[in-house]
Structure 1
Amino acid sequence: METAITDIRCTWMDFYEELADRLLDFRDDRKELIDRLQKVFAAENLTLPKLDTYEVPADIDPFTVFGLFNKGLSDVNRKKVAAGLANEFHLAAPLPEAFVGIPTLNNLNATFYAFSGHPRRKEGDIDRLWTVFEAALAYADNPHEATETGFISAYDAVLHQFSISWKMTMGLYWIRPNVFANLDSRNRWFLGLPGNMPQNINNEIRSLKAVPEAAEYLALCSQILEAMNTGAYRYRTFPELSACAWLTSQKVNQQNKEREKEREKASQDNSLGDADIETVHYWLYSPGEGGEKWDEFFESGTMRLGWGKLENLNDYASKDDIRRALLAQYSDKTSQKKPALALWQFAHDVKPGDVVFAMRGRGELLGRGIVEDDYEYDEKGGYYPHLRHVKWTHKGDWHIDDKPAESVLAEVTDYTTLVNELCAFFDDAGGETETGEQPVDYPPYSPEDFLSEVYMDEATYDDLAGVLRSKKNIILQGAPGVGKTFAAKRLAYSMAGVKDPERVTMVQFHQSYSYEDFIEGFRPSADGFKLVKGSFYTFCKRAQNDSDKDYFFIIDEINRGNLSKIFGELFMLIENDKRGPKNKLQLLYSHELFYVPSNLYIIGMMNTADRSLAMLDYALRRRFAFFDLLPAFDSAGFVSYRNGLKSAKLNRLIECVVSLNEAIAQDETLGRGFCIGHSYFCGMDAEDVTDAKLSSIVEYELVPMLREYWFDNPSKSNEWADKLRRSIK
């Protein structure tokens, strides 16, 4: 670890800092800067990326120049661009030998500004980026009160521009890596892990919901530097920290790709995925035309795609770019949309750990494998230069009933019936065997994390978790917008102690939902009918096989289904004192003796403002605790969030809604179960709080609800609709 970090520190920092100094000379001559960038790419026989609406950008900022070689390119091309920049700008520093730990941009979002003509492009956006660039260099090289004040002013002026967000900290880190901390998603994840920083910094990092303003950002940089200077950690500088974060993430990815993460039912687990949680995706793949390359690819542990006239797919910024290249290289008259999609997904969407099913035609399954690494371009690959390494775990010849459309590459994650049928072949299949599973390091999630995301006080959370722990079944009931779904998932994670999507699943009840969907039932197949297991049965089996951990089954709109029909004989088995193998009942179709494990918790959700619903079955009501979720406009978390948006109109609108809720609560025909929740106003950044946004919330969400509430009293609904509209004028 230390050797790698030392190498990284010595091979890139001087180059980046010297490039930043040189770019500053072009602040007032950006046309010359753009001309030089064109020369760099032409000299290296590369295509200048699309940087504006026009073929040649009319203007550019210095951070976007750094982004030209700090995005999703191969290391070979990154070095080519860096070498071209060194030659064109006469840099003396040695070229970077490696890019480990240096943050990179998404190819599809690689500029620090909106393109010309974009509605979010504002006059002076690029000028302000140059200002913060110059101010950052001045502060980093000569920190004192005046340069700090200048930096704070310039930073805060660009923070809420379109396309900035966390990229601002990445750009600052590129130009002065010893002074400015990179806070991209990987570093925030790493800094938030216990033991990698003092607990107060762990907590502060995990609580960040948006890019901090300048004063808070500088204070956080100072805190992290101070902690590293104590010698308590294996990193002493920001570059060393970023390198450790990268190496740690690589180690986790290595564990992930070795672990078989198949699930018996892949149905709705993915709907619960968070941005920082890796989930398995399932792909169908044809190894050559008609499967002709299967034996070769199996032996070499690879999957390859053809279209050999196209070189490195990472050099294309979009599917359309790939499609245009295909049209230019191949003279047939097809649109090339399907091949372009397959090539793009092969390079960008297939992830290490994903499961691949090799197919011949539509109905013949040849084998199964797990993707091991990222896309590579193999210059010696001939017609099949586009490469991923795969650990093929099984090889054989199976015929499937649920025949998918024939495709070179297709994701089938959401086609749960097909995925279940394909996975079933390998429960007891012969062929290649698989290695033991490796645990996945999912992000930890504590009650403190819950309280940092959900607007609820600690005492209420303790009551909620305590009731669910003892009763095992709970229904979160509340008015529209109180965040029932948001809270339910995070409640499960906080009680599990980790953001593990395999231990949390969700279904939604509706009028057609049945026992056959929930437990088991016969479904049509090519040979007649076959018995298919339902979502609750499948999840119970998963929990039974992992009895040391808690599992959580979430039911949205629980009062919309015919509950007696859905639960059937399980009415008794879900009771907290009827759990476990000592309490088994025979299932209706399979006659299997079945029990609900004691480590499984059920969280239902119910909208109290839906008057079209019948009352809950009393037998079910006895088995669930009911917990009211109320609007949280006065909670400390929401007040802090609201204050951070700094919008007088939003404040007036919220105050009007609070008054409206008082009227609703006092109305004998409604009551507090019809109050309007806070989530209608959540998830916004300061730049999102526009007149159009607030008007949209009022006109298309709140006013229609009032008309439904007071359908028999239009004068009252009109009165409050007018008050809401006036509040944002």
Structure 2
Amino acid sequence: MDMEAGHYEWTAFYAELADKLLNFKSDRAELVQRICRIFEKIKMKLPKLEKGGIPIDIDPFTVFGLFNKGIKDENRIHIMKGIAEAFDISAEVPQSLSGIPVLNHMNAAFYGFAGDREANDIDHLWQLFESALKLAENASDDHRKAFCEAFNTALSQRYIKWNITMGLYWIRPYFYVNLDSRNRKFLYNIEHMPADFVARYQPYIKTYAKVPSAEHYLNIIDACKAVFESGQYPYTTFPELSNAAWVETQGKPENDDEIPTVHYWTYAPGQKAEKWDECYQKGIMLLGWGEIGDLNAFTSKSAMRKQMQEIYQEDTSYKNSAHATWQFAREMKPGDVIFVKNGMSEIIGRGIVTSDYEYDADRTDHFNHLRHVNWTDRGSWMLQERTAMKTLTDITPYNGFVQQLKEIFESDALDEDDDQAVNYPLYTEDDFLSEVYMSEEKYQNIVRLLRYKKNIILEGAPGVGKTFIAKRLAYSMMGVKDVDRVLMVQFHQSYTYEDFIMGFRPTEGGFELKKGVFYNFCKKAEIDSDNDYFFIIDEINRGNLSKIFGELFMLIENDKREHKIQMLYSDEKFAIPKRVHIIGTMNTADRSLAMLDYALRRRFAFIEIEPGFNTEGFKTYQESLNNEKFDRLIACVVDLNEVIADDDSLGKGFCIGHSYFCLKPEMVNDKALFSIVEYELIPLLKEYWFDEASKVKEWSDNLRSAIQ
């Protein structure tokens, strides 16, 4: 380790670089030129800092991001050596980078490119940088006020999220706390921080929370330092804390753009709903087993279970009880929807969770565990499908049952409540192009085609990322990662109209008409005409499409949207909303599948997705790895694809996709490359050329030689 008595070697280099960069606040053109010269001198490709490739301005946090992103440590150190020479830094270039938080290597700039940022965005980042250095030097009220103004201004910018806390940590690691997802998860755990700290700051450090304002951010810093000073934990500085969080997660890069998902629960407020009146009147939900104490004190379900066995001393495992208390305290979250039940067949209310878990020590009825809830409905609704007996059940995975319960309470007011429950991350065209190895021109063509045609199929060989592309295409067209407006199903040979649209299903009393997944999705989109919805069908050619779509076969056409047609199993007339887009995916290399129905082909546009080895994005990724064996393997696969494409029995649809090689930088090693060749590529060649053993041997040898 590069530390002694809590001091990390890298911090001196980072702090001195920050001091040097401040001199360029008013001369950024010189800073840009110096950065370009550094990369030219060290013979590395300058990361993309502007849309056209030529940087015209830069902020200090992005300078740090040049060598604090998910690339190999040897490349990071190589860049730092060039920086040290160019900026005359006296501190030693660190050789160990363990525990230093890094950005996604494809998205390491703190600003939008020209045309996608406001005129003062980079100026604001410089103002924050300067005020942060001053506050770290002298924590006066004036400096604190100036920092807060600069931080909150920068936070309003499009590309500033949790990454700004990482940037502040880089420039003054002993003063500012990094709040990337790794550290937030660490701080949110009562094993690592006091329970009162977790309870007080959990709205700001949860993985799905919004970035706190400057005032709250500084309060978190002050609270952390108080914890350090208590001497109760092995870390006494932010670098030690960050390293501990890094060690716990084994140094794996995090995606700091996590998407929160609303969960749905059934809940029994005591035996025969005895606590329902109190819960409804006070806007709370109560859970028993209060004798075991504050649930925040337990670090595992097994610990809760053990405590129950010791206190109640009954001959039972308490497996379900401990699971319920754990979920109530740790897994349920604000925005989740609660369906209140009485027994197993009656729903008596519905509400939305508005608070985190609380322990009320003053209650004497054993219902000491509570959350605050906005109860939106009260009444009595009988169900034909019985609910689980358990006090608390997460029913989110049971789509049909959730939809049945939601239909009971359908109203515009409730839909508005659901919409307000989650703030989804922004997702732009640039985000798409940084993750998907595709040209900008092709992306724009696909978007135009999908908006016009409404239905497209992404076809291509295995491993070209069709499913990955489909979801991100939807996000980019919506502008946000709104998981509530994107739904994916996978077709198979047993998939039916009854699964997709509607049909009769057996129940205890006979048969009941059940709505299918596509029907429900369209109904959801129907009442939200201002927003786009995307229905993704993976492996679309594996199902009998004419039977699955049934009478909706005609309605999926663009000019037939909003036209109503009589349903097969009901008196209802149904239409597909204009805002619903259908994205299908299919493997062109699957020789066992029949061709698509020609009538259905007319209703879809087909887009070929090719291996992305020659795209700018993949080349940038490949260069960032700086791995000779990886380069040789890619060159070999590109040559192999030419042979496959020219083979009369195969063709372009059988080419090997780039997804086989899209690994996290630290995972690219000899063992990983060996596994790809031996267990993925060579078996594929044996299937392709099952009757040409000599060709299999030739290219197997070529692939193996590439990684020797």
- TM-score under structure 2 length normalisation: 0.66
Residue equivalent to 2:357 = 375
Tell me the amino acid that sits aligned with residue 602 of structure 1: I
SS at match of 2:291: coil
SS at match of 1:664: helix
1:514 CA drift (Å): 1.4
Residue equivalent to 2:694 = 715
Matched, 1:394 2:377: yes
1:294 CA drift (Å): 2.2
Tell me the amino acid that sits aligned with residue 8 of structure 2: T
Matched, 1:308 2:290: yes
Matched, 1:670 2:612: no
Q: Contact between 1:125 and 1:158, CA under 8 Å: does it hold in 2?
A: no
Equivalent in 92, 104, 113 of residue 150 of structure 1: 92
Matched, 1:725 2:704: yes
Cα separation, 2, equivalents of 1:200 and 1:469: 26
Cα separation, 1, equivalents of 2:152 and 2:622: 28
Residue equivalent to 1:468 = 450
Matched, 1:693 2:672: yes
Q: Deviations over 1:259-297 (max 9, x none)?
A: xxxxxxxxxxxxxx9953322111122212343222222
Cα separation, 2, equivalents of 1:177 and 1:611: 64
Equivalent in 625, 638, 647 of residue 605 of structure 2: 625
Matched, 1:282 2:264: yes
1:694 CA drift (Å): 2.4
**Bigger shift: 488-497 or 641-650?**
641-650
Q: Contact between 1:484 and 1:629, CA under 8 Å: does it hold in 2?
A: yes
Equivalent in 656, 661, 665 of residue 641 of structure 2: 661
Tell me the amino acid that sits aligned with residue 391 of structure 1: N
Tell me the amino acid that sits aligned with residue 395 of structure 1: R
1:543 CA drift (Å): 2.3
Cα separation, 2, equivalents of 1:531 and 1:345: 33
Q: Deviations over 1:579-600 (max 9, x none)?
A: 22xx332221114222222222
SS at match of 1:622: helix
Residue equivalent to 2:441 = 459
RMSD: 4.2
Tell me the amino acid that sits aligned with residue 592 of structure 2: S
Equivalent in 517, 526, 530 of residue 512 of structure 2: 530
Residue equivalent to 1:568 = 550
Cα separation, 1, equivalents of 2:299 and 2:163: 35
Residue equivalent to 1:680 = 660
Residue equivalent to 1:592 = 572
Cα separation, 2, equivalents of 1:178 and 1:609: 62
Q: Deviations over 1:326-345 (max 9, x none)?
A: 34434234333322221111
Q: Indicate how the Cα distance of structure 1 residues 338 and 691 shifts in structure 2: closer, same or farther if over 3 A, else same.
A: farther
Cα separation, 1, equivalents of 2:467 and 2:550: 25
Equivalent in 338, 362, 365 of residue 356 of structure 1: 338
Equivalent in 603, 619, 626 of residue 639 of structure 1: 619
Q: Contact between 1:131 and 1:154, CA under 8 Å: does it hold in 2?
A: no
Cα separation, 1, equivalents of 2:547 and 2:450: 24
Cα separation, 1, equivalents of 2:14 and 2:294: 36
Equivalent in 468, 475, 485 of residue 486 of structure 1: 468
Q: Indicate how the Cα distance of structure 1 residues 672 and 485 shifts in structure 2: closer, same or farther if over 3 A, else same.
A: same
SS at match of 2:8: helix
Equivalent in 387, 401, 413 of residue 396 of structure 2: 413
Tell me the amino acid that sits aligned with residue 401 of structure 2: L
Q: Contact between 1:504 and 1:553, CA under 8 Å: does it hold in 2?
A: yes
Q: Indicate how the Cα distance of structure 1 residues 292 and 136 shifts in structure 2: closer, same or farther if over 3 A, else same.
A: farther
Equivalent in 518, 526, 536 of residue 554 of structure 1: 536
Equivalent in 589, 606, 623 of residue 609 of structure 1: 589
Cα separation, 2, equivalents of 1:347 and 1:373: 11
Q: Indicate how the Cα distance of structure 1 residues 433 and 414 shifts in structure 2: closer, same or farther if over 3 A, else same.
A: closer
1:558 CA drift (Å): 0.8
Cα separation, 2, equivalents of 1:615 and 1:599: 28
Q: Indicate how the Cα distance of structure 1 residues 544 and 399 shifts in structure 2: closer, same or farther if over 3 A, else same.
A: closer
Tell me the amino acid that sits aligned with residue 477 of structure 1: E
Cα separation, 2, equivalents of 1:682 and 1:288: 51
Q: Deviations over 1:443-487 (max 9, x none)?
A: 232222211221111111111111112212111001111111111
Cα separation, 2, equivalents of 1:307 and 1:490: 44
Cα separation, 2, equivalents of 1:455 and 1:463: 15
1:396 CA drift (Å): 2.7
**Bigger shift: 545-554 or 615-624?**
545-554
| 1:284-299 aligned within 5 A | 284-299=266-281
| 1:492-511 aligned within 5 A | 492-511=474-493
Q: Indicate how the Cα distance of structure 1 residues 560 and 142 shifts in structure 2: closer, same or farther if over 3 A, else same.
A: closer
- TM-score under structure 1 length normalisation: 0.65
1:148 CA drift (Å): 6.8
Cα separation, 1, equivalents of 2:156 and 2:368: 44
Q: Contact between 2:13 and 2:91, CA under 8 Å: does it hold in 1?
A: no
| 1:86-485 aligned within 5 A | 124=1, 130-132=7-9, 135=12, 139=16, 149-150=91-92, 152-155=94-97, 196=155, 276-382=258-364, 383-427=366-410, 438=420, 441-485=423-467
Cα separation, 2, equivalents of 1:198 and 1:416: 37
Q: Indicate how the Cα distance of structure 1 residues 479 and 328 shifts in structure 2: closer, same or farther if over 3 A, else same.
A: same
Cα separation, 2, equivalents of 1:409 and 1:151: 54
1:353 CA drift (Å): 0.9
Q: Deviations over 1:32-70 (max 9, x none)?
A: xxxxxxxxxxxxxxxxxxxxxxxxxxxxxxxxxxxxxxx
Q: Deviations over 1:395-452 (max 9, x none)?
A: 23333222233112111111122222222333489xx999796485432322222112
Q: Deviations over 1:369-413 (max 9, x none)?
A: 211111112221332222111122222333322223311211111
Q: Indicate how the Cα distance of structure 1 residues 675 and 433 shifts in structure 2: closer, same or farther if over 3 A, else same.
A: closer
Q: Contact between 1:572 and 1:578, CA under 8 Å: does it hold in 2?
A: yes
Cα separation, 1, equivalents of 2:670 and 2:434: 28
Q: Deviations over 1:216-268 (max 9, x none)?
A: x9xxxxxxxxxxxxxxx99999979x9xxxxxxxxxxxxxxxxxxxxxxxxxx
Cα separation, 2, equivalents of 1:680 and 1:315: 44
Cα separation, 2, equivalents of 1:725 and 1:361: 63
SS at match of 1:642: helix
SS at match of 2:434: helix
**Bigger shift: 438-447 or 465-474?**
438-447
Q: Contact between 1:135 and 1:154, CA under 8 Å: does it hold in 2?
A: no
Q: Indicate how the Cα distance of structure 1 residues 177 and 455 shifts in structure 2: closer, same or farther if over 3 A, else same.
A: farther
1:609 CA drift (Å): 0.8
Cα separation, 2, equivalents of 1:707 and 1:546: 50
SS at match of 1:568: helix
Cα separation, 1, equivalents of 2:637 and 2:99: 31
Q: Indicate how the Cα distance of structure 1 residues 128 and 603 shifts in structure 2: closer, same or farther if over 3 A, else same.
A: farther
Tell me the amino acid that sits aligned with residue 641 of structure 2: N
Q: Indicate how the Cα distance of structure 1 residues 628 and 149 shifts in structure 2: closer, same or farther if over 3 A, else same.
A: farther
1:693 CA drift (Å): 2.4
- How many corresponding residue pairs? 529
SS at match of 1:280: coil
Q: Indicate how the Cα distance of structure 1 residues 319 and 150 shifts in structure 2: closer, same or farther if over 3 A, else same.
A: farther
Q: Indicate how the Cα distance of structure 1 residues 642 and 436 shifts in structure 2: closer, same or farther if over 3 A, else same.
A: closer
Cα separation, 2, equivalents of 1:302 and 1:682: 47
Q: Indicate how the Cα distance of structure 1 residues 462 and 149 shifts in structure 2: closer, same or farther if over 3 A, else same.
A: farther
